[in-house]
Each structure stands twice: as structure tokens, then as C-alpha cells.
Homo-oligomer: A and B are copies of this chain.
Amino acid sequence: MKKAYLAGPEVFLADALDIAQAKQALCSAYGFEGLAPLDGEVTTAGGPEALAGAIYDKNVAMIRRSDLVIANLTPFRGLVMDPGTAFEIGFACALGLPVFGYANTDAGHFRRVADAGPLRPRPGRPEVQEDADGLAVEDFGLFENLMIDVPIRRLAGTVDTGAVPRDRLYGDLSVFERCLARAARTLSRG
């Protein structure tokens, strides 16, 4: 049974264990073994930095023994995704693992940035829209930074997205399940 590393910021919720177990049960239903990076399982004799190191080592080892990654790309503390999850996607891609992605919002990166504040055309290059910091807003029709979307889309065709109740923004699993179904279909073809 293929092992799916379950990346995402829902590990920071109070009910992270329940969510992880629910994700694992869904994984089983689609023919995967779900590996959930639960930081509460890690203990060390050292201080915070030793604990951080032990969690890092545990997560990286778990990715290395996985066959695929399913990543939660829901925006985290701002307009972009959790950087820990982005790190893990990059790590998995370098190992050649297939990565699938989902998010509990429909708004792609360009729309999220445009909704957050006015954009302006770049002086001399009006086809480029800038945010208030003068940063070009990527407009490739993607959900996230292209480094995240491209490897996911090449394999899976898309990032699965959907709207969920606001109070379940990180823990709702309906879009996760669609992504899981896509992973099962995609990998059974392969």
C-alpha cells in the first residue's frame, strides 16, 4: 500500500490528532496508508531548539519513506501558504515523489492579492500588476507560487480547491477527499 505523507498547517490545530486520524481513515478508503506528521508525538531532553530539530528530523524521515505527498495549500497567516508545507513539497519533488495539492478556498493567488488591496500597473510595463510593495503579482492562473503549482499540475492536472465553513478552514476534509480520489486515479494510471 502506497504511503501518503499528509502535509499541512492543520497540525497546528487543537484537534490535530482527530483530523490526522480522519485523514488516515480516508486514505485507507482510497488505498493509501496516510503518514501524519504530528509534532506532539516528539519529545526530547533538550530545550525548544532541540525539540524543533527532533520534529524536523521526524518529518524529513517520514517524507523519505513516503511514496507521495498530499499537501494542504490553504493560505496561512496571510495570503500565501504555510512555508513548512512548501518546504516539504520542495523536499518531496527533489526526491521525485508525486505531490498532490488541495486548498479550502477557491480564490487563486492573483485574486487573493487583488481582493486584499488595490493593484496598480507597473510603470512602463502595464501588463504587469503590482501590489503595494511594488511586487509583481504572478498571473499564471495558478493557485499558489508557480514553484508549488507546476509540479502538482503536471501530474494531477490541477490543485483541488473548494469553499468550506470559515471555522473549518484548516480542518475540513471534503476537498482533501477529492484530492485523495484524484491521487488514487492518477497513480493507478501510472
Binding site for B on A (CB under 8 A): 9, 12-14, 48-49, 51-53, 55-56, 59-60, 75-84, 86-95, 113, 116, 122-123, 125, 130-131, 133-142, 144-151, 153-154, 169-170
Bound state CA distance, A92 and B93, in angstroms? 10
Shortest Cβ gap from A107 to chain B (Å): 13
Are A133 and B91 also in contact (CB < 8 A) when A77-B80, A145-B82 are?
Answer: no
Are A56 and B86 also in contact (CB < 8 A) when A48-B141, A95-B94, A130-B14 are?
Answer: no
- Complex interface: chain B residues within 8 A of A80 (CB): 76-78, 80, 82-83
Q: Is B14 within 8 A of A83, CB to CB?
A: no
Bound state CA distance, A52 and B153, in angstroms? 11
Q: Can you name 11 A-B residue pairings with CB atoms under 8 Å?
A: A12-B137, A49-B140, A56-B147, A77-B135, A78-B80, A83-B83, A84-B86, A84-B145, A87-B87, A90-B92, A133-B170
Residue of B nearest to A117 (CB): B77
Bound state CA distance, A136 and B14, in angstroms? 8
Bound state CA distance, A169 and B134, in angstroms? 10
- Complex interface: chain B residues within 8 A of A48 (CB): 139-141
Q: Is A59 within 8 A of B135, CB to CB?
A: no
Bound state CA distance, A88 and B91, in angstroms? 8
Residue of B nearest to A139 (CB): B48
Are A148 and B49 also in contact (CB < 8 A) when A89-B90, A93-B91, A94-B95 are?
Answer: no
Q: Is B141 within 8 A of A49, CB to CB?
A: yes
